[in-house]
Structure 1
Amino acid sequence: MVELARTSAELEVPATLGALGDIAAFVLRLAGRAGLGKGPAYRIRLAVDELATNIVMHGYRGGDGRITVRGRSGPGRVQISIADSAPAFDPVEGRLPPAPGIPPERRRIGGLGIHLALTSVDEFSYVRRDGRNISTLTVNAEGTDPCPPRP
């Protein structure tokens, strides 16, 4: 298992679409500190962006709210936790796997972005604690062994 550095960073932003750029920059800075290549850095940024967008659009539904993003990085590994106080939502339960045999116009709307986000990371976990949704995503550099594989 690759150890994460004890150093960590935190960003708290309003739950608005305008804050997504700040979140992406925060994630990419951590990916850079960890020495992730373009592929793994893109995967963690994409996954965090998808989850943060869902928090803004579906969790808070455009209302007031805050998103707290915490990150830790170590050589070849980045871990990001996203926390919000929106209604409980487990991304694993909300994801929609691709349905290749069903025409797009007949597919259920929603959930595919979450599926793409969760399958682009090496590890994912969700908990509801103290009235907050907390999703934790981890990406390893190419060529490093992940910790226990996700289910």
Structure 2
Amino acid sequence: MSELRLAAALTSLEEIAPYVLDLAERAGLSPEATYRLRLAVDELATNVVMHGYRGGEGELRLVGGMDGQQVWIRLEDDAPPFDPSAGCLLPHTELPLSQRPIGGLGIHLALTALDDFQHRYTDGHNSCTLVIRRSEPTE
């Protein structure tokens, strides 16, 4: 699949959904798996724009693909190093909303929606690979 390059701005995020949906359709993902992939990509891309670049200029790069078992999207940026899975804590669902710390829930939802997630930081670039299995494993 061709690479999608976007300015790191909230308005650019609207272009991500059609890219993810096209890949999911070509891969034959179920509606549930498509939703999980879209949720994760959307959340992680928003996180890069809001917290990685902190409103400054930058670029997001997405490329997706598939093989016999899985569909994947790699999200790359040039923001400071940040591994979303490092230190990702479970949300404090036992606390009333007014007592819960702000932040972290979106990353938790994104990472738990995926079947696999990998982050690398090399040569000034964050690279996150998000994976959804094409079908449920058989037992």
Q: TM exceeds 0.5?
A: yes
**Partner SS for 1:100:** coil
Please point out which of 48, 54, 57 is paired with 2:47: 54
Tell me, what secondary structure is at the counterpart of 2:76?
Answer: strand
Runs of 4 or more off by more than 4 Å in structure 1? none
Could you tell me how far apart the structure 2 residues matched to 1:117 and 1:74 are? 22
What residue in structure 2 maps to residue 3 of structure 1?
none
1:11-61 deviation digits (Å, cap 9, x = unpaired): 111001111121111111111110001100110010000000001111111
Give distance in 1, aligned partners of 2:25 and 2:87. 30
Structure 1, gaps ≥5 residues long: 1-7, 146-151
Residue matched to 2:113: 120
Contact 2:17 2:38 in 1 (8 A): yes
Superposed, which structure 2 residues align to 1:2-151 within 5 Å?
8-75=1-68, 77-144=70-137
Structural RMSD (CA) = 1.5
SS of residue in 2 equivalent to 1:98? coil
User: Are residues 80 and 10 of structure 1, via their aligned partners in 2, closer, same or farther at CA, if it must alter by over 3 Å?
Assistant: same
* Residues in 1 aligned to 2:14 and 2:70: alpha-carbon distance in whole angstroms: 22
Q: Is the 8 A contact 1:96 1:114 kept in 2?
A: no
Structure 2 residues without counterparts, runs of 5 or longer:
none
Deviation at 1:143, TM superposition (A): 2.4
Report the count of equivalent residues: 138
1:55-93 alpha-carbon deviations (Å, 9 max, x no partner):
111111111100000111235621001000111111012
SS of the equivalent of 2:126 reads strand
Q: Aligned equivalents of 1:64 and 1:84: distance in 2?
A: 11
The answer on whether the counterparts of 1:73 and 1:79 sit within 8 Å (CA) in structure 2 is: yes
TM-score norm. by structure 1 comes to 0.85
Q: Is the 8 A contact 2:2 2:64 kept in 1?
A: yes
Q: What per-residue deviation string (whole Å, max 9, x for no partner) do you get for residues 100-150 of structure 1?
A: 2222222211111000000001000111111111110100134246xxxxx
Q: 1:95–1:113: 8 Å Cα contact kept in structure 2? A: no
